[in-house]
Amino acid sequence: MPIQLVDPASVKAWLERGGVILVDVREPQEYAAEHVAGATLVPLGTVCCAKLPDYTGKKLVIMCKLGGRGGKACEKLAGELSSETVVYNLDGGIEAWKQAGLPVERAPRRGFLSWLTGRG
């Protein structure tokens, strides 16, 4: 199975055309704090083909914070996927995504008053 690096602009274009499954392999709290819209969370410790969304006919892109965990996830999947399947690792992860000026969804920030009162 080939593993290829892909830049954020290419992934954004693929997302806009509906031609990609984007899998975020960070931890749940990282994903909750900020993530790319449309990304599916599958933490690195649980990555396997059975946990992936159906990617038939689409590009499979793995992402993390900087690219390292994404690379490990791609390697984990290498033994499970067919030799013709290309898996893409988002080069630089979500940090490169943000550096490219691309949007992320963020958890609402709790204001001081809500923190103080325990509400919100």
Does the 3-117 domain belong in CATH 3.30.300.30? Answer: no
**DSSP character string of 35-60:** E-TTPEE--GGG-SGGGSPP-TTSEE
Residue 19 in 3-state DSSP?
Answer: coil
Structure tokens belonging to residue 101 = 């000026």
- Helix, strand, or coil (residue 110): coil
What's the chain's average pLDDT? 91
Residue 20: pLDDT over 90: yes
Q: What is the pLDDT of residues 36-79, one digit of tens each?
A: 999 999 999 999 999 999 999 999 999 999 999 999 999 999 88
- Residue boundaries of the structural domains of the chain: 3-117
What's the pLDDT at 51?
Answer: 96
